Structure 1
Amino acid sequence: MIGKLKGTLDEIAEDHCVVDVHGVGYVAYCPARTLSKLPGIGEAVVLYIETYVREDMIRLYGFGSALEREWFRLLQNNVPGVGAKVALAVLSTLTASELANAVALRDIAMVARAPGVGKKVAERIVTELRDKAPAYTGESAAAMGLKQELGEGVAPAPVADAVSALVNLGYSRDVAATAIAAALKTAGDGADSAKLIRAGLKELAR
């Protein structure tokens, strides 16, 4: 099985590229985002590969990072009705972090932006991956849980106010939520918004 290709970029097409490795050209089907970030023809390139072997074909799927490849596997192995085509469409539309946030916040509309992914499929994706996504986000389970609570409108008022305050200071919602999730560990669940804001700012200053 091929897990990684390191060679020279030989060709870029609409849905795939060709990587020359010691004179052998490997065709790798990639998300649009991956293709858009490839270097110029003739330059060195590295792709993380998922190999599909069937009776009638062998197909390689290429990704710019191991995390993208894991999401590709996760989508197909855990969501009924999602195959390679839909998984590529999702990863062409959303970055790995955007997909992780959409799953955590149950943002069906964001996932449904992918071509060929309707509301029902998007809902199935966020539902089936809800408990599996944290391992692929690089974030703590606490941060993922808080983002989910914020998305569902059930986060405690002091927590929601603290996140809102950091957002008003110019931080993104995701960064603010991650900081407040970390702050909760030191400040405690009973902390008021002012204490959480101070603790959150300390986390951001690290």
Structure 2
Amino acid sequence: MIAKLSGILDSVETDACVVDVGGVGYLAYCSGRTLGRLPPLGQPVSLAVITHVREDHIHLYGFLDAAEREWFRLLTTVQGVGSRVALAIQTVLGPSELAAAIALQDKAALARADGVGPKLAARIANELRDKTTGLAAIVPLDGDRGTAPAVPRVAGAAEDAVSALVNLGYRRIEAFAAVAGVQRRLGVDAPIEALIRGGLAELAQ
């Protein structure tokens, strides 16, 4: 099984890239977010890889870091979420945004991905809510890089704070990420006023 590819970026397609490793080109399917963060053609690149082996094909799925790879694995444990849908979700939501959406049950954010309707978004949020704590050590929060503290629990004050920020004109996923960050620092019992003030400060940065 292939777990990592390190070589030269040979080409980029709409949903995949080709990495030249010692003269052999490996096609790796990637999210749009990953493809957008690749180096220029001809430059060195290293991808964390998941290998799917079936009777009729062998597919490689490539990720720029361990957080993306683990979220892909986690997403595909949900019934109805295949590889294509998992990559679509990762195209619109980075690791930190996924953590915030799952922790605070933001089904609307998940439904932004192609192929994810309201019912599937609800299933993803519900099934992954209790599984994301194990990802705390690898889910980046600073520009999808770095080390993250534990994912916060859902709380009524947090939900109200997000609604308040949305009413002030911020995008829903931005509000969720900001409130999640404040709740990590202040604790799950932080009052709504503190969450709103902290969220505004986060969004102003």
Q: Which amino acid aligns with 1:176?
A: V
Deviation at residue 193 of structure 1 after TM alignment: 9.5
* Paired residues of 1:49 and 1:60 also in contact (CA < 8 A): yes
Match of 2:120 in 1: 121
Deviation at residue 178 of structure 1 after TM alignment: 1.3
Give the structure with the larger helix fraction.
Answer: 1
Determine what percentage of the aligned residue pairs are the same residue: 50
Whole-angstrom CA distance in 2 between matches of 1:115 and 1:52: 22
CA 1:69/1:122 → structure 2, altered by over 3 Å: closer, same or farther?
same
Deviation at residue 192 of structure 1 after TM alignment: 8.7
After TM superposition, what 4+ stretches of structure 1 lie above 6 angstroms from structure 2?
Answer: 191-194
Where do residues 31-42 of structure 1 align in structure 2 (5 Å cutoff)?
A: 31-42=31-42
* Paired residues of 2:158 and 2:179 also in contact (CA < 8 A): no
Match of 1:134 in 2: 133
CA 1:46/1:119 → structure 2, altered by over 3 Å: closer, same or farther?
same
- 1:184-204 Cα distance to aligned partner (Å, 9 max, x none): 8xxxx7x9999x89xx9xxxx
Whole-angstrom CA distance in 2 between matches of 1:109 and 1:192: 24
* Paired residues of 2:158 and 2:192 also in contact (CA < 8 A): no
Deviation at residue 5 of structure 1 after TM alignment: 0.4
Q: Which amino acid aligns with 2:107?
A: I
Match of 1:81 in 2: 80
- 1:65-115 Cα distance to aligned partner (Å, 9 max, x none): 1111101011112x1111101101000110011011000000000110111
Whole-angstrom CA distance in 1 between matches of 2:18 and 2:92: 22
SS of the aligned residue for 2:76 comes to helix
Structure 2 residues without counterparts, runs of 5 or longer: 138-147, 162-176, 199-205
CA 1:24/1:179 → structure 2, altered by over 3 Å: closer, same or farther?
same
Whole-angstrom CA distance in 1 between matches of 2:159 and 2:191: 21
Match of 1:92 in 2: 91
SS of the aligned residue for 1:172 comes to helix
SS of the aligned residue for 2:125 comes to helix
Q: Which amino acid aligns with 1:38?
A: L
Whole-angstrom CA distance in 2 between matches of 1:46 and 1:27: 13
* Paired residues of 1:28 and 1:61 also in contact (CA < 8 A): yes
Whole-angstrom CA distance in 2 between matches of 1:69 and 1:9: 19
Match of 1:61 in 2: 61
1:179 aligns with 2:185: yes
CA 1:87/1:73 → structure 2, altered by over 3 Å: closer, same or farther?
same
Whole-angstrom CA distance in 2 between matches of 1:149 and 1:9: 46
Deviation at residue 140 of structure 1 after TM alignment: 4.5
**TM-score (structure 1 length as normaliser):** 0.75
Deviation at residue 131 of structure 1 after TM alignment: 0.1
Q: Which amino acid aligns with 1:59?
A: H
* Paired residues of 1:18 and 1:26 also in contact (CA < 8 A): yes
Structure 1 residues without counterparts, runs of 5 or longer: 155-170, 201-206
Deviation at residue 49 of structure 1 after TM alignment: 0.3
User: Radius of gyration: which is bigger?
Assistant: 1
Whole-angstrom CA distance in 1 between matches of 2:39 and 2:72: 22
Match of 1:12 in 2: 12
